[in-house]
Amino acid sequence: MFDRALERLSGDIAIDLGTSSTLVYVQGRGITVEEPSVVAVERSGTSSRVVAVGADAKRMVGRTPEHIQAVRPIREGIIADFELAEVLLRTCVERALGSRPLVKPRMIVCVPVGTTEVERRAIQESARAAGGREVSLVGKSAAAALGAELPIHEATASMVVDIGGGTTEIGLISMGGIVVNASVRAAGDHLDRALVAAIQQQHNTLIGERTAEEIKLRVGAIGGIDDGSQVRVKGRDLGTGIPRDVVISGHEVQAAYTPVLEEVVEGIRRALSRTPPELAADVLDHGLVLCGGGALLRGLPAWLSERTGLPVILAEDPRRCAALGAGALLQDPETLVRVAPA
Ligand SMILES: Nc1ncnc2c1ncn2[C@@H]1O[C@H](COP(=O)(O)OP(=O)(O)O)[C@@H](O)[C@H]1O
Ligand SMILES: [Mg+2]
Protein backbone atom coordinates (compact mmCIF):
# COMPACT_ATOMS: atom_id res chain seq x y z
CA MET A 1 0.00 0.00 0.00
CA PHE A 2 2.67 2.44 1.10
CA ASP A 3 4.90 1.05 -1.66
CA ARG A 4 2.23 1.79 -4.21
CA ALA A 5 1.98 5.37 -3.07
CA LEU A 6 5.74 5.72 -3.23
CA GLU A 7 5.68 4.40 -6.76
CA ARG A 8 3.22 7.04 -7.85
CA LEU A 9 5.19 9.83 -6.25
CA SER A 10 8.52 8.77 -7.63
CA GLY A 11 7.73 7.30 -11.07
CA ASP A 12 10.14 4.38 -11.11
CA ILE A 13 12.32 4.22 -14.17
CA ALA A 14 14.20 1.80 -16.39
CA ILE A 15 17.22 2.91 -18.37
CA ASP A 16 18.95 1.51 -21.41
CA LEU A 17 22.31 3.24 -21.15
CA GLY A 18 23.69 2.30 -24.56
CA THR A 19 26.86 3.10 -26.44
CA SER A 20 24.84 5.02 -29.02
CA SER A 21 21.64 5.98 -27.32
CA THR A 22 20.13 6.31 -23.88
CA LEU A 23 16.47 5.52 -23.40
CA VAL A 24 14.44 6.14 -20.28
CA TYR A 25 11.19 4.36 -19.50
CA VAL A 26 8.99 5.86 -16.82
CA GLN A 27 6.54 3.64 -14.99
CA GLY A 28 3.02 4.34 -16.21
CA ARG A 29 4.20 6.55 -19.07
CA GLY A 30 6.46 4.40 -21.22
CA ILE A 31 9.62 5.61 -23.00
CA THR A 32 9.84 9.37 -22.56
CA VAL A 33 13.48 10.05 -23.42
CA GLU A 34 15.61 8.84 -26.32
CA GLU A 35 18.87 10.70 -26.65
CA PRO A 36 22.20 9.97 -28.32
CA SER A 37 24.74 9.03 -25.63
CA VAL A 38 26.89 12.09 -26.26
CA VAL A 39 28.03 14.90 -23.95
CA ALA A 40 29.73 18.05 -25.25
CA VAL A 41 32.29 19.57 -22.89
CA GLU A 42 34.11 22.85 -23.05
CA ARG A 43 37.58 22.66 -21.55
CA SER A 44 39.69 25.61 -20.57
CA GLY A 45 42.83 24.99 -18.60
CA THR A 46 41.94 22.66 -15.76
CA SER A 47 38.24 23.43 -15.64
CA SER A 48 35.56 21.96 -17.84
CA ARG A 49 31.91 22.76 -18.41
CA VAL A 50 29.17 20.65 -19.99
CA VAL A 51 27.65 22.59 -22.90
CA ALA A 52 25.22 20.05 -24.36
CA VAL A 53 23.83 16.58 -23.73
CA GLY A 54 22.14 14.23 -26.17
CA ALA A 55 20.98 15.24 -29.65
CA ASP A 56 22.50 18.74 -29.41
CA ALA A 57 25.84 17.26 -28.41
CA LYS A 58 25.75 14.65 -31.17
CA ARG A 59 25.39 17.36 -33.78
CA MET A 60 28.78 18.62 -32.61
CA VAL A 61 30.66 15.32 -33.10
CA GLY A 62 33.59 15.86 -35.42
CA ARG A 63 32.85 19.56 -35.97
CA THR A 64 33.67 21.27 -32.69
CA PRO A 65 36.37 23.87 -32.19
CA GLU A 66 39.38 22.55 -30.32
CA HIS A 67 38.26 23.62 -26.85
CA ILE A 68 34.90 21.85 -27.14
CA GLN A 69 34.83 18.08 -27.21
CA ALA A 70 31.86 15.88 -28.04
CA VAL A 71 32.42 12.82 -25.87
CA ARG A 72 30.71 9.45 -25.94
CA PRO A 73 31.11 8.35 -22.32
CA ILE A 74 30.11 4.75 -23.07
CA ARG A 75 32.35 2.78 -25.41
CA GLU A 76 31.88 -0.84 -26.45
CA GLY A 77 29.08 -1.05 -23.94
CA ILE A 78 31.35 -0.05 -21.08
CA ILE A 79 31.61 3.25 -19.25
CA ALA A 80 34.78 4.92 -20.46
CA ASP A 81 34.25 8.27 -18.74
CA PHE A 82 32.46 8.00 -15.41
CA GLU A 83 31.96 11.67 -14.77
CA LEU A 84 30.33 12.26 -18.13
CA ALA A 85 28.34 9.04 -18.01
CA GLU A 86 26.86 10.34 -14.80
CA VAL A 87 26.04 13.67 -16.43
CA LEU A 88 24.35 11.80 -19.28
CA LEU A 89 22.41 9.58 -16.91
CA ARG A 90 21.35 12.43 -14.65
CA THR A 91 20.31 14.66 -17.54
CA CYS A 92 18.26 11.91 -19.17
CA VAL A 93 16.58 11.05 -15.87
CA GLU A 94 15.77 14.73 -15.26
CA ARG A 95 14.32 15.08 -18.75
CA ALA A 96 12.28 11.92 -18.26
CA LEU A 97 10.80 12.95 -14.93
CA GLY A 98 10.30 16.59 -15.82
CA SER A 99 11.00 17.96 -12.37
CA ARG A 100 12.76 16.69 -9.32
CA PRO A 101 10.64 13.84 -7.96
CA LEU A 102 9.35 14.04 -4.39
CA VAL A 103 10.66 10.58 -3.72
CA LYS A 104 13.76 9.09 -5.31
CA PRO A 105 12.76 6.61 -8.01
CA ARG A 106 13.67 2.96 -8.13
CA MET A 107 15.89 2.29 -11.12
CA ILE A 108 16.61 -0.63 -13.40
CA VAL A 109 19.61 -0.24 -15.69
CA CYS A 110 20.45 -2.54 -18.63
CA VAL A 111 24.09 -3.59 -18.87
CA PRO A 112 25.94 -5.65 -21.46
CA VAL A 113 27.03 -9.11 -20.31
CA GLY A 114 30.69 -8.28 -20.77
CA THR A 115 30.77 -5.76 -17.93
CA THR A 116 32.95 -6.64 -14.97
CA GLU A 117 31.98 -6.51 -11.31
CA VAL A 118 33.87 -3.24 -10.89
CA GLU A 119 32.16 -1.68 -13.89
CA ARG A 120 28.77 -2.76 -12.63
CA ARG A 121 29.38 -1.21 -9.27
CA ALA A 122 30.40 1.99 -11.04
CA ILE A 123 27.18 2.00 -13.06
CA GLN A 124 25.18 1.49 -9.88
CA GLU A 125 26.98 4.37 -8.21
CA SER A 126 26.33 6.61 -11.20
CA ALA A 127 22.66 5.70 -11.12
CA ARG A 128 22.47 6.51 -7.42
CA ALA A 129 24.26 9.79 -7.97
CA ALA A 130 21.71 10.50 -10.71
CA GLY A 131 18.94 10.15 -8.12
CA GLY A 132 18.18 6.44 -7.98
CA ARG A 133 16.92 5.04 -4.69
CA GLU A 134 17.37 1.35 -5.27
CA VAL A 135 19.30 0.36 -8.37
CA SER A 136 19.00 -3.04 -10.06
CA LEU A 137 20.99 -4.18 -13.04
CA VAL A 138 19.63 -6.39 -15.77
CA GLY A 139 21.32 -8.13 -18.70
CA LYS A 140 20.67 -6.24 -21.90
CA SER A 141 19.75 -9.24 -24.02
CA ALA A 142 17.29 -10.55 -21.43
CA ALA A 143 15.64 -7.13 -21.31
CA ALA A 144 15.57 -7.03 -25.11
CA ALA A 145 13.97 -10.49 -25.24
CA LEU A 146 11.25 -9.32 -22.88
CA GLY A 147 10.78 -6.13 -24.87
CA ALA A 148 10.47 -8.11 -28.08
CA GLU A 149 7.71 -10.09 -26.35
CA LEU A 150 9.46 -13.43 -26.66
CA PRO A 151 7.93 -16.22 -24.58
CA ILE A 152 10.83 -16.21 -22.13
CA HIS A 153 8.90 -17.93 -19.36
CA GLU A 154 8.13 -21.03 -21.39
CA ALA A 155 10.22 -24.18 -21.50
CA THR A 156 11.19 -23.37 -25.08
CA ALA A 157 14.35 -21.38 -25.80
CA SER A 158 14.30 -17.88 -27.25
CA MET A 159 17.36 -16.38 -28.85
CA VAL A 160 17.83 -12.67 -29.12
CA VAL A 161 20.59 -10.81 -30.94
CA ASP A 162 20.83 -7.12 -30.05
CA ILE A 163 23.09 -5.21 -32.43
CA GLY A 164 23.83 -1.88 -30.78
CA GLY A 165 26.53 0.72 -31.34
CA GLY A 166 29.51 -0.86 -29.60
CA THR A 167 28.49 -4.45 -28.93
CA THR A 168 26.22 -7.17 -30.18
CA GLU A 169 24.59 -8.91 -27.26
CA ILE A 170 23.50 -12.47 -27.81
CA GLY A 171 21.22 -14.16 -25.32
CA LEU A 172 19.43 -17.44 -25.02
CA ILE A 173 16.60 -17.43 -22.53
CA SER A 174 14.42 -20.25 -21.33
CA MET A 175 11.96 -20.54 -18.43
CA GLY A 176 12.59 -16.99 -17.37
CA GLY A 177 16.33 -17.42 -16.94
CA ILE A 178 19.43 -16.73 -19.02
CA VAL A 179 20.94 -19.95 -20.39
CA VAL A 180 23.67 -18.60 -22.65
CA ASN A 181 24.94 -15.08 -22.92
CA ALA A 182 27.61 -13.60 -25.14
CA SER A 183 28.86 -10.18 -26.12
CA VAL A 184 30.67 -9.55 -29.40
CA ARG A 185 32.57 -6.37 -30.14
CA ALA A 186 31.16 -6.05 -33.63
CA ALA A 187 28.20 -3.70 -34.06
CA GLY A 188 27.11 -0.39 -35.60
CA ASP A 189 30.22 1.63 -34.71
CA HIS A 190 32.44 -1.07 -36.17
CA LEU A 191 30.53 -0.87 -39.46
CA ASP A 192 31.20 2.87 -39.51
CA ARG A 193 34.89 2.43 -38.72
CA ALA A 194 35.24 -0.30 -41.36
CA LEU A 195 33.80 2.11 -43.92
CA VAL A 196 36.15 4.91 -42.86
CA ALA A 197 39.08 2.52 -43.32
CA ALA A 198 37.86 1.26 -46.70
CA ILE A 199 37.42 4.78 -48.09
CA GLN A 200 40.82 5.74 -46.80
CA GLN A 201 42.35 2.78 -48.57
CA GLN A 202 40.45 2.91 -51.83
CA HIS A 203 40.05 6.66 -52.30
CA ASN A 204 42.94 7.98 -50.24
CA THR A 205 40.35 10.14 -48.52
CA LEU A 206 39.51 10.55 -44.87
CA ILE A 207 35.88 10.85 -43.80
CA GLY A 208 34.57 11.29 -40.26
CA GLU A 209 32.74 8.58 -38.30
CA ARG A 210 29.64 10.76 -38.28
CA THR A 211 29.71 10.85 -42.09
CA ALA A 212 30.23 7.10 -42.18
CA GLU A 213 27.13 6.66 -40.04
CA GLU A 214 25.13 8.93 -42.34
CA ILE A 215 26.20 6.83 -45.32
CA LYS A 216 25.06 3.73 -43.46
CA LEU A 217 21.67 5.23 -42.76
CA ARG A 218 21.26 6.42 -46.36
CA VAL A 219 22.61 3.58 -48.47
CA GLY A 220 23.94 1.01 -46.03
CA ALA A 221 22.92 -2.57 -46.73
CA ILE A 222 24.21 -6.11 -46.77
CA GLY A 223 23.51 -9.15 -48.87
CA GLY A 224 23.93 -7.76 -52.36
CA ILE A 225 20.76 -5.66 -52.41
CA ASP A 226 20.80 -2.26 -54.15
CA ASP A 227 24.22 -2.82 -55.58
CA GLY A 228 23.70 -0.02 -58.06
CA SER A 229 23.35 2.68 -55.39
CA GLN A 230 25.90 5.44 -55.04
CA VAL A 231 26.53 8.20 -52.58
CA ARG A 232 28.64 11.35 -52.83
CA VAL A 233 30.40 12.41 -49.64
CA LYS A 234 32.91 15.01 -48.52
CA GLY A 235 36.23 13.96 -47.12
CA ARG A 236 39.81 15.16 -46.83
CA ASP A 237 42.22 14.07 -49.56
CA LEU A 238 45.11 12.47 -47.69
CA GLY A 239 47.55 13.41 -50.44
CA THR A 240 46.78 17.11 -50.81
CA GLY A 241 45.06 17.69 -47.46
CA ILE A 242 42.25 19.47 -49.29
CA PRO A 243 38.56 18.60 -48.86
CA ARG A 244 36.97 16.89 -51.84
CA ASP A 245 33.97 14.85 -52.94
CA VAL A 246 34.18 11.12 -53.44
CA VAL A 247 31.55 8.84 -54.91
CA ILE A 248 31.10 5.58 -53.06
CA SER A 249 29.17 2.65 -54.43
CA GLY A 250 26.78 0.47 -52.50
CA HIS A 251 28.99 -2.43 -53.45
CA GLU A 252 32.00 -0.88 -51.69
CA VAL A 253 29.91 -0.22 -48.60
CA GLN A 254 28.76 -3.82 -48.43
CA ALA A 255 32.27 -5.14 -48.95
CA ALA A 256 33.45 -3.02 -45.99
CA TYR A 257 30.63 -4.28 -43.76
CA THR A 258 30.96 -7.99 -44.52
CA PRO A 259 33.90 -8.87 -42.22
CA VAL A 260 32.27 -7.05 -39.28
CA LEU A 261 28.98 -8.87 -39.75
CA GLU A 262 30.81 -12.17 -40.16
CA GLU A 263 31.99 -11.65 -36.57
CA VAL A 264 28.36 -11.41 -35.49
CA VAL A 265 27.67 -14.68 -37.32
CA GLU A 266 30.64 -16.26 -35.56
CA GLY A 267 29.32 -15.03 -32.19
CA ILE A 268 25.93 -16.61 -32.87
CA ARG A 269 27.63 -19.89 -33.82
CA ARG A 270 29.71 -19.88 -30.65
CA ALA A 271 26.65 -19.16 -28.51
CA LEU A 272 24.78 -22.04 -30.14
CA SER A 273 27.69 -24.40 -29.63
CA ARG A 274 27.42 -23.71 -25.90
CA THR A 275 23.66 -24.32 -25.90
CA PRO A 276 22.19 -27.62 -24.65
CA PRO A 277 21.02 -29.64 -27.71
CA GLU A 278 17.27 -29.50 -26.99
CA LEU A 279 17.37 -25.75 -26.66
CA ALA A 280 19.50 -25.39 -29.79
CA ALA A 281 16.82 -27.40 -31.61
CA ASP A 282 14.23 -24.84 -30.44
CA VAL A 283 16.29 -22.04 -31.93
CA LEU A 284 16.56 -23.94 -35.20
CA ASP A 285 12.76 -24.19 -35.24
CA HIS A 286 11.76 -20.73 -34.04
CA GLY A 287 14.75 -18.76 -35.13
CA LEU A 288 16.35 -15.77 -33.49
CA VAL A 289 14.96 -12.30 -32.96
CA LEU A 290 17.05 -9.39 -34.11
CA CYS A 291 16.93 -6.04 -32.29
CA GLY A 292 19.02 -2.96 -31.51
CA GLY A 293 19.55 -0.11 -33.96
CA GLY A 294 21.97 -2.17 -36.04
CA ALA A 295 19.15 -4.62 -36.82
CA LEU A 296 17.74 -1.94 -39.13
CA LEU A 297 20.55 -2.30 -41.65
CA ARG A 298 18.80 -3.14 -44.91
CA GLY A 299 19.04 -6.77 -45.92
CA LEU A 300 20.49 -7.89 -42.60
CA PRO A 301 17.75 -10.32 -41.47
CA ALA A 302 17.87 -12.20 -44.79
CA TRP A 303 21.67 -12.18 -44.92
CA LEU A 304 22.00 -13.43 -41.33
CA SER A 305 19.45 -16.13 -42.00
CA GLU A 306 21.40 -17.30 -44.99
CA ARG A 307 24.71 -17.26 -43.11
CA THR A 308 23.45 -19.03 -39.98
CA GLY A 309 20.81 -21.31 -41.46
CA LEU A 310 18.34 -20.02 -38.84
CA PRO A 311 15.07 -18.19 -39.34
CA VAL A 312 15.70 -14.53 -38.43
CA ILE A 313 12.88 -12.29 -37.27
CA LEU A 314 13.25 -8.51 -37.01
CA ALA A 315 11.73 -7.22 -33.76
CA GLU A 316 8.86 -4.79 -34.13
CA ASP A 317 10.58 -1.82 -32.53
CA PRO A 318 14.24 -2.91 -32.56
CA ARG A 319 15.81 0.20 -31.03
CA ARG A 320 13.46 0.21 -28.05
CA CYS A 321 13.30 -3.47 -27.11
CA ALA A 322 15.77 -3.34 -24.22
CA ALA A 323 14.19 -0.25 -22.65
CA LEU A 324 10.67 -1.67 -23.02
CA GLY A 325 11.75 -4.97 -21.48
CA ALA A 326 13.55 -3.28 -18.59
CA GLY A 327 10.42 -1.16 -18.11
CA ALA A 328 8.27 -4.28 -17.87
CA LEU A 329 10.61 -5.60 -15.18
CA LEU A 330 9.73 -2.66 -12.92
CA GLN A 331 6.53 -4.55 -12.20
CA ASP A 332 7.93 -8.06 -12.29
CA PRO A 333 10.36 -8.48 -9.38
CA GLU A 334 10.44 -12.28 -9.75
CA THR A 335 11.76 -12.18 -13.28
CA LEU A 336 14.05 -9.29 -12.40
CA VAL A 337 15.92 -11.53 -9.97
CA ARG A 338 16.30 -14.30 -12.55
CA VAL A 339 17.65 -12.11 -15.31
CA ALA A 340 20.26 -10.35 -13.19
CA PRO A 341 23.48 -10.25 -15.20
CA ALA A 342 25.54 -13.35 -14.39
N1 LIG B 1 18.31 2.40 -40.06
C2 LIG B 1 19.49 1.99 -39.62
N3 LIG B 1 20.29 1.22 -40.39
C4 LIG B 1 21.50 0.78 -39.95
N5 LIG B 1 21.99 1.08 -38.72
C6 LIG B 1 21.23 1.84 -37.91
C7 LIG B 1 19.95 2.33 -38.30
N8 LIG B 1 19.45 3.06 -37.27
C9 LIG B 1 20.39 3.02 -36.29
N10 LIG B 1 21.45 2.29 -36.67
C11 LIG B 1 22.67 2.03 -35.92
O12 LIG B 1 22.37 1.37 -34.72
C13 LIG B 1 23.39 1.65 -33.76
C14 LIG B 1 22.78 2.09 -32.47
O15 LIG B 1 21.88 1.17 -32.01
P16 LIG B 1 21.33 1.28 -30.50
O17 LIG B 1 20.48 0.10 -30.23
O18 LIG B 1 20.75 2.63 -30.28
O19 LIG B 1 22.73 1.16 -29.75
P20 LIG B 1 23.10 1.03 -28.22
O21 LIG B 1 22.03 0.17 -27.61
O22 LIG B 1 24.45 0.41 -28.21
O23 LIG B 1 23.10 2.41 -27.70
C24 LIG B 1 24.25 2.76 -34.35
O25 LIG B 1 25.45 2.21 -34.84
C26 LIG B 1 23.39 3.28 -35.49
O27 LIG B 1 24.17 3.83 -36.53
MG1 LIG C 1 20.08 -0.61 -28.06
Average pLDDT over residues 309-330: 96
- Minimum-distance ligand to the CA of 166? 1
Residue 10 pLDDT > 90, yes or no?
no
Query: Quick one: which of 102, 137, 159, 188 has its CA closest to 276?
Result: 159
Contacts of 218 (CB under 8 A, 6+ apart): 231
Question: How many whole angstroms from 24 Cα to the centroid of ligand 2?
Answer: 12
Q: Verify that 193 and 221 share a domain, yes or no.
A: yes
CATH at residue 117? 3.30.420.40
109: amino acid identity, one letter: V
Same domain, 28 and 100: yes
The CATH number of residue 220's host domain is 3.90.640.10
Please state, in angstroms and rounded to a whole number, the distance separating the CA atoms of residues 229 and 222.
12
pLDDT score, position 1: 52
Percent residues over pLDDT 70 in the chain: 95
Same domain, residue pair 31 and 119: yes
Q: pLDDT-derived band of residue 7, with 50, 70 and 90 as boundaries? A: low
Nearest alpha-carbon partner for 87 in 41, 43, 56: 41
Are 154 and 115 a contacting pair, CB within 8 Å?
no
Q: What is the pLDDT of residue 8?
A: 56
Which DSSP category does 326 fall into? H
In angstroms, the Cα distances linking 339 to 22, 153, 247, 270 are 20, 11, 47, 21
Q: Same structural domain for residues 17 and 118?
A: yes
Confidence of residue 111 (pLDDT cuts 50, 70, 90): confident
pLDDT at 165 over 90: yes
Q: What confidence score (pLDDT) does residue 211 get? A: 93
Domain count, the chain: 4
Instruction: Report the atom number in ligand 1 closest to the C-alpha of 318.
Output: 17
- Is any ligand 1 atom within 6 A of the Cβ of residue 297? yes
pLDDT 10s digits, 196-246? 999 999 999 999 998 999 999 999 999 977 667 889 999 999 999 999 999
| Model confidence, pTM | 0.92
Q: Are 22 and 99 members of one domain? A: yes
pLDDT score for 102: 74
**Would the CB of 20 count as within 6 Å of ligand 1?**
yes
Mark whether 292 and 197 lie in a shared domain. Answer: no
Same domain, 50 and 60: yes
Asked if the model's pLDDT at residue 187 lies above 70, the reply is yes
Separation of CA 174 and ligand 1 centre (Å): 27
Domain that holds residue 67: 38-71
Is residue 292 lining ligand 1, measured as CB closer than 6 Å?
yes
Residues 170 and 301 in one domain: yes
Indicate which ligand has the atom closest to the C-alpha of 190: 1
201 CA distance to ligand 2 middle (Å): 30
Query: What number is the average pLDDT over the span 325-335?
Result: 92
Pocket probe for ligand 1: among 19, 75, 88, the residue whose CB has the most ligand atoms within 8 Å is: 19
Same domain, 90 and 175: no
pLDDT tens-digit series, residues 138-151: 999 999 999 999 98
Do 164 and 312 lie in one domain? The reply is yes
pLDDT at 131 over 90: no
Tens of pLDDT, residue by residue over 278-319, are: 999 999 999 999 999 999 999 999 999 999 999 999 999 999
Q: Is pLDDT at 76 greater than 60 in this prediction? A: yes
Indicate whether 61 and 162 sit together in one domain.
Answer: no
Last residue of a domain, one of 212, 232, 256: 256
Instruction: Compute the mean pLDDT over every residue in the chain, rounded to the nearest whole number.
Output: 90
Q: Is 77 left (phi over 0), alpha (psi -120 to 50) or beta?
A: left
| Domain match, 123 and 84 both | yes
